[in-house]
Structure 1
Amino acid sequence: MEKVKYRLNDPKLAPRRTKLEIPGWAGAREPRADGSREQVWHCVPFTEGAQYGIELFYPYDFELHVSTKDARLRFEADWGEPPEGGAQWPPFRNFGDSFYTYQILLDMKVPKGMAIRTEPHPRFYTDRSDTVPVAVPALVRNWWPMLFFTVFKAPAEGRTHIFRPNEPFAQIIVIPEEANFELEQMGVEEASERELQARRIYNSRPTLSAGTEWTSSTDTVFDGTYRHLHRAAKEKARQE
């Protein structure tokens, strides 16, 4: 197992592997049963994607509201006295009115050939209030010794991003530093093989989904076909 090491400027900024909060930003604890409302954690691909990274937490004891008014960014918070050490204070700054930055001062060391990439926290995609900060994707290579700042997209006119104490505001994922792949259309034989796999799954769906079908409150039919195949594939990989 590879390790990702970190070095902190502020202990409250300690990262952790991203977790689903249920109940919370990942939805209510509703069962996969008739009449339930769909929750994002019901979806295995979303659940795996959301937990793939490392979440970063807002380390201050006060809220920060970032808003746009008359095309200008505004930062509202009770900053108090600057901390010792001479760091930029306040740690948030306008970046061309279309973006803003946070002086994060976090060092994350990943294995050779890997890099870290910032991105919005998964709760951004489930939020209905439009207040979750939107971290801008950025790839930082492992030879760079400090993530000095994170860039965020500015809220739209009249909107507000809110940073709350101990609340995640961005996610980091660890990826290969080079995207060494090319796009290529499948040949006839390979495409036929994939189509055959798809048809086999489709024809086996009544068996694979037996006992797992349910209809949501919005009349959408779900079943456990993907979940069953997912468990089987993971077990096969573990044994191999």
Structure 2
Amino acid sequence: MNVVKYRTREARLRPRRTKLEIPGWAGEREPRADGSREYVWHCLPFSEGAQYGIELFYPYQHDLHVTTREGHLVFEGDFGPPPEKGLQWPPFRTFGDKFYTYQILLDLKVEQGFAIRTEPHPRFYSDSTNTVPIAVPALLRNWWPMMFFIVFKSPAEGATHIFRPGEPFAQVIVVPEEANFVIEEMGEEECAERELQARRIHESRTTLSAETHWTSKSNTVFDGTYRNILRAAKAKARGTED
């Protein structure tokens, strides 16, 4: 198990493993059943991907609105006086004409061979208001002792990003510091093996999802094939470890 250690000047950032908020940004507690409205948490690959990282919470007491007006960024929020000398205050500023930054002052220390990468919080993908901040991907090696700022993409003309107290605004994931992989075409034997796996799954979908097949309110069909196979794979892995 890898350990991620942190230090910060602002405890209310409260970095934690990302959680699905239900009810909340991930949807409501509607069952996987005919007639239910579909939500992102119903999709297991999304749910696992969303919970893969570390979420960060907006630590200030008042909302911040970031708006683009006539091509210029406008920051609207009541920050009051700086909490200590030497801090950029307010902690937001423009970064070129297409981005803006937040002086986050957060140190996340990962183990040797790993790095941290910023990215949008998963609620960005379920949001229908276009108000969720869009964190720009950036990779920091473990020898860099502080994330001094985090960069966000500016909202479109007339749109507004909203930072609210206690609301997650970005996610950090832990990744290998080097992308040591190459992309190559599968050989004939591998292709045949993967094709056979795919056909077996396709032919078994009715059996695998017999009790988990449902059609949502918008007439979208779901089944539990992936979920059931994942459950079996995890059970097999536990047996192997034992």
Sort the TM-score into its range (normalised by shorter chain).
Answer: over 0.9
For structure 2, the 5+ residue unaligned runs are: none
Once residues 192 and 179 of structure 2 are traced to their aligned partners in structure 1, the CA distance between those partners, rounded to angstroms, is 27
Q: 2:23 aligns to what?
A: 23
Q: Residues 128-160 of structure 1, C-alpha deviation per residue, up to 9 Å, x if partnerless?
A: 000000000000000000000000000000000
Match runs of 1:118-137 below 5 Å: 118-137=118-137
Once residues 88 and 99 of structure 1 are traced to their aligned partners in structure 2, the CA distance between those partners, rounded to angstroms, is 17
Once residues 172 and 209 of structure 2 are traced to their aligned partners in structure 1, the CA distance between those partners, rounded to angstroms, is 35
Once residues 112 and 238 of structure 2 are traced to their aligned partners in structure 1, the CA distance between those partners, rounded to angstroms, is 25
Once residues 203 and 211 of structure 1 are traced to their aligned partners in structure 2, the CA distance between those partners, rounded to angstroms, is 16
Once residues 235 and 111 of structure 2 are traced to their aligned partners in structure 1, the CA distance between those partners, rounded to angstroms, is 27
Q: 2:156 aligns to what?
A: 156
Once residues 13 and 30 of structure 1 are traced to their aligned partners in structure 2, the CA distance between those partners, rounded to angstroms, is 30
Q: 2:51 aligns to what?
A: 51
Superposed displacement of residue 73, structure 1: 0.4
Once residues 146 and 238 of structure 1 are traced to their aligned partners in structure 2, the CA distance between those partners, rounded to angstroms, is 37
| Percent of paired sites with the same residue | 73
Q: 1:8 aligns to what?
A: 8
Letter in 2 for 1:172: V
Once residues 27 and 11 of structure 1 are traced to their aligned partners in structure 2, the CA distance between those partners, rounded to angstroms, is 28
Once residues 124 and 238 of structure 2 are traced to their aligned partners in structure 1, the CA distance between those partners, rounded to angstroms, is 33
Q: 1:183 aligns to what?
A: 183
Once residues 69 and 206 of structure 2 are traced to their aligned partners in structure 1, the CA distance between those partners, rounded to angstroms, is 55
Shift of the 210–33 alpha-carbon distance from structure 1 to 2, 3 Å rule, reads same
Q: 1:193 aligns to what?
A: 193
Superposed displacement of residue 85, structure 1: 3.6
Q: 1:73 aligns to what?
A: 73
Once residues 6 and 237 of structure 1 are traced to their aligned partners in structure 2, the CA distance between those partners, rounded to angstroms, is 31
Q: 1:234 aligns to what?
A: 234
Q: Residues 71-106 of structure 1, C-alpha deviation per residue, up to 9 Å, x if partnerless?
A: 000000112111114211010001112100000000
3-state SS, counterpart of residue 161 of structure 2: strand
Q: 2:42 aligns to what?
A: 42
3-state SS, counterpart of residue 115 of structure 1: strand
Once residues 168 and 177 of structure 2 are traced to their aligned partners in structure 1, the CA distance between those partners, rounded to angstroms, is 25
2:118 matched to 1:111?
Answer: no
Once residues 127 and 25 of structure 1 are traced to their aligned partners in structure 2, the CA distance between those partners, rounded to angstroms, is 7
Divergent runs of 4+, >6 A: none
Superposed displacement of residue 222, structure 1: 1.3
Once residues 161 and 219 of structure 2 are traced to their aligned partners in structure 1, the CA distance between those partners, rounded to angstroms, is 34
Q: Residues 17-72 of structure 1, C-alpha deviation per residue, up to 9 Å, x if partnerless?
A: 00000111001111011101111101100000000000001000000000000100
Once residues 22 and 81 of structure 1 are traced to their aligned partners in structure 2, the CA distance between those partners, rounded to angstroms, is 36
Letter in 2 for 1:5: K
**Aligned pair count?**
240
Once residues 101 and 224 of structure 1 are traced to their aligned partners in structure 2, the CA distance between those partners, rounded to angstroms, is 41
Task: Calculate the TM-score normalised by the size of structure 1.
Answer: 0.98
Once residues 15 and 122 of structure 1 are traced to their aligned partners in structure 2, the CA distance between those partners, rounded to angstroms, is 15
3-state SS, counterpart of residue 68 of structure 1: strand
- CA-based RMSD of the aligned residues comes to 0.7
